[in-house]
Structure formats: C-alpha cells, structure tokens
Amino acid sequence: MTYVTEENLTDLAIERWSNIPDPRLRQIMTALVKHLHGFVREIEPTPEEWIAAIMWLTRVGQICDAKRQEFILASDVLGVSMLVDAINNRAPGAATPSTVEGPFHIPNSPEIADGGNMAEGAPGIPTFCTGKVTDLDGKPIAGAMLDMWQTDGEGLYEAQIEGAEGYMRGIYHTNPDGSYTVRTVAPIGYTIPMDGPIGELMNKTRISHMRPAHIHFHIAAPGYKSLTTHLFQKGCEYIDTDVVFGVKEPLIVEFVKKPAGSKAPTGEVMNEPFYEVKYDFKLAKAAAAMKAA
C-alpha cells in the first residue's frame, strides 16, 4: 500500500480514476483529475478561499431553473462554450462560421412567409435582412430553413418579457433561387444577466458584461451541416469585447441606413428610415453526404 503524501496525491488520484471500463469516461475523468490538481497546486487556495469557491458553485446551481442556466452562462463568459463550439464545427474555410446558440432560443417559432415581419409591434428601427443560402460553390439551396431570433430595439428577448409569445422570432424558408428576405427591427447590444453569481464575479473584474447587437440564426437544409450562428452589426461599440467571445470577423455585417421614402427589398416604400443588411450564408455538406460523394 502506498500512503498519501502531498507529492504523490495527484498520481494516486489519477490511478484510482483510471479504474473505469468505459474508455471515453476514463479519459475524461483522468484528465479532469490531472487538470484540477494542477490548478489547485498552482493557486494553493487557503481553506477560506476553497469554501468560498464551493459556496459560489452552490449559488450557481441554486439559481438554475427551467428558464435560467447559470452554469451555461459560466461556460460562456469563460470562453468554454465557444471553444466547444469551435471544436465541434470545424468547417471548410468557405463555410459561414458558427457561434454559440446562447440561452434565448425558443423552439417551434412561428412560420413566416418570405418578406414577412418577425418584429410585428416591436420597438426599433425597421431592418430588412436579405441574401442567399448556398453551398460552398455558391450553388443556391432552395427550401433551406432559417430559424431566427433576436432582441427588440430595447434589448429584450421574448423570454424576458412576461406573457410575450412568438415575439422577435420566426422560421423562414429560402426561395427556389436560395434567396430570403426577412423584415425585423435592429437589435441592440445588451447585458448578460448580472443578478446572479456570474454577475457577482463579473463585478469584481473590469470585464465588459455586454454583448454586441446581433441576430441569431439556425440554418438547416437536407444534405448540409446545420449552422448555428449570429450576424453582428458592424460598428457596434461592444464588438471587440463581446463577453461570450462570440464575434468572428466574417460575421460582422454593415447595417446600411436608408432614408425615409426609400424602397425596401419587399417593394414597399418606407415612411421612416430603415436598415438593409445583406448576407449570403454558405453551408458545408453533411458528413454523410460527403462520404457518399
């Protein structure tokens, strides 16, 4: 029997956690023990610091419910969500990059016809998003689904408004030439929830707690790898400091301001200023489709 010393404890713990039949779980647990011990050896916490960390994690768990996921928020602000996303969405260079889904997606959004308004009655500057969904060679993908969600012009998602239903979200499909036209309002930058333990921690730092203005998309078409991404408004003040590390350069897009009296992409003449946002999404073939080719 080898008894415990400060020096041998990490090796003993790794050896014990190697006793797992499932090879993947064994790999995960031995790496977890190795890195956790490395972290503790590096910072050498006092007992008070250790219990403060345990109590903070306890509060993270206690605030979670069906609508609030503080552990995901922790993963987001530490850059872990974007790392997991990047590892699992390595796509050919020409494909539109992915970014995190975030906590505000609501499934089964209302189906809206091409050109229809997903921001009916919402405050904000009218905005028209147009473009195409294509494959990597620019071939149009007809019938691709665009599931979109965003904040209104006051920075609020449906989930943050009591009683709202089908607000600032919608499902569109591309035309036979791969094109889409969506009417919405311009989103604005907003803060992540700061009233819980993540906010408590952020408030001890000089890190911005803001997300830059963006529109969320899930895009799917048979035979293609589904894409979860955002479009970010170029020039938004939080674009270089996104608290969840979500901004990838190819996803930054100009919101082009048009004066009142201009014609919108839907053909209507607008009696107030509005934005036009043009973006073509490029989807990679699904792995199964690539194997078959």
Shortest distance, CB of residue 102 to ligand BEZ, whole angstroms? 3
If the CB atoms of residues 102 and 178 are measured against Fe ion, the closer one turns out to be 102
Q: Does 102 bind ligand BEZ (CB under 6 A)?
A: yes
If the CB atoms of residues 97 and 103 are measured against ligand BEZ, the closer one turns out to be 103
- Whole-angstrom Cα distance, residue 70 to residue 50? 20
If the CB atoms of residues 104 and 275 are measured against Fe ion, the closer one turns out to be 104
Beta-strand runs (E) in the chain: 126-134, 145-150, 169-173, 179-185, 190-191, 210-211, 214-220, 227-233, 252-253, 256-258, 274-278, 281-282
- Whole-angstrom Cα distance, residue 199 to residue 10? 33
Please give the angle made by the CA atoms of 32, 36 and 37, to the nearest 5 degrees: 120
Residues 229-258 that bind ligand BEZ (CB under 6 A): 244
If the CB atoms of residues 128 and 217 are measured against Fe ion, the closer one turns out to be 217
Residue 12 per-residue DSSP state = H
Contact between 192 and 241 under an 8 Å Cβ cutoff? The reply is no
Q: What are phi and psi of 110, to 5 degrees?
A: -60, 140
Residues 180-219 that bind ligand BEZ (CB under 6 A): 192, 211
Say which entry of ligand BEZ, Fe ion, none residue 236 contacts (CB below 5 to 8 A, set by partner kind): none
If the CB atoms of residues 115 and 189 are measured against ligand BEZ, the closer one turns out to be 189
Tokens encoding 185? 């309002």
Stretch in the footprint of ligand BEZ (CB under 6 A) among 8-16, 48-56, 97-105, 264-272 = 97-105
Dmax (CA) of the chain: 85
Shortest distance, CB of residue 196 to ligand BEZ, whole angstroms? 12
Say which entry of Fe ion, ligand BEZ, none residue 281 contacts (CB below 5 to 8 A, set by partner kind): none
- Secondary structure element (H or E) that encloses residue 34, with its range: helix 23-43
List the one residue from 29, 33, 74, 76 that touches ligand BEZ (CB under 6 A): 76
Q: Does 104 bind ligand BEZ (CB under 6 A)?
A: yes
Q: Does 103 bind ligand BEZ (CB under 6 A)?
A: yes
Q: Does 167 bind ligand BEZ (CB under 6 A)?
A: no
- Whole-angstrom Cα distance, residue 64 to residue 59? 9
DSSP SS3 for 121? coil
Sites of contact with Fe ion (CB under 5 A):
102
Tell me which residues touch ligand BEZ (CB under 6 A). 73, 76, 100, 102-104, 192, 211, 244
